[in-house]
Amino acid sequence: MIKIAWSLAHQEFIISDHYYFSKLSNYVKEKDIHIDEVDDINKFTDYDAVVFNYPEIPFEEDEVDYLSELIEKGKKIMIFGYYKNEDRIADTCNTLTKRFGITFNGDIVTDDENNYENDNLLIVTDKVKHFKDNVNKVMLACTDTLTIEGDFVEPLVYAKDSAKSKLGKEKILFAEYRTFGQQGALIAGGTCVFWDNYSIDLYDNKEFALDLLAR
């Protein structure tokens, strides 16, 4: 069984919020994934992975040191933001991710051609890399872009060529830091609502979400 700590330590959206995440909660149980809400970062060592879903409290340097050690020990850290730098979410995520060569840009991505229900903020893309074969197309609502640098960071999801970044950035939406031969990783995503009750049953979002948690 995969054990995941869903962080409450940085004032995140909680998975036990029935209105937003009841479907995800049910789907992970079907896949033998166990998720606990955890508000004490010292307990993260007891889990295979940690999720920071829209953290609103910045990370201190000693916390980043601690999370880096967890990655070196084979743990997976996941952090997901939102568009426009609302609540300074991009800035907050960057207090963790910049150490690993990933920057949230506080961007707005629109796509007038590839979207859901003619809403250009609900972008649809099939430019998904390194996921299982059943993940071909996803809907990513209200997403930021990511800038990456360094030898150990690579994109996981791009927007389609028809998409536009308000800041003119490369349209990387999800990225992963992982050193060669290492099990541990840091995964960052420009949106935190790809797996909420509205989105999770659209396209391959369910499979995408479960693969992120279990990869």
Q: How confident is the model at residue 127 (pLDDT cuts 50, 70, 90)?
A: very high
Residue 2 identity: I
Average pLDDT over every residue of 2-21: 96
Per the CB < 8 A criterion, the answer to whether 101 and 177 are in contact is: yes
Per the CB < 8 A criterion, the answer to whether 36 and 5 are in contact is: yes
Query: Does the pLDDT value for residue 181 go beyond 80?
Result: no
Alpha-carbon distance of 112 to 57, in angstroms, equals 34
Q: State how far the alpha carbon of 116 is from the alpha carbons of 59, 159, 162, in Å.
A: 34, 14, 14
Q: How confident is the model at residue 92 (pLDDT cuts 50, 70, 90)?
A: very high
Return mean pLDDT, the chain: 96
Average pLDDT over every residue of 38-52: 97
User: How many CB atoms lie under 10 A from the CB of residue 18?
Assistant: 10
Residue written as token pair 């903020």: 121
**Domains, the chain, with CATH or none:** 2-214 (3.40.50.880)
Residue written as token pair 């999720």: 51
Q: For the CA atoms of the chain, what is the radius of gyration?
A: 16
Residue 139 identity: M
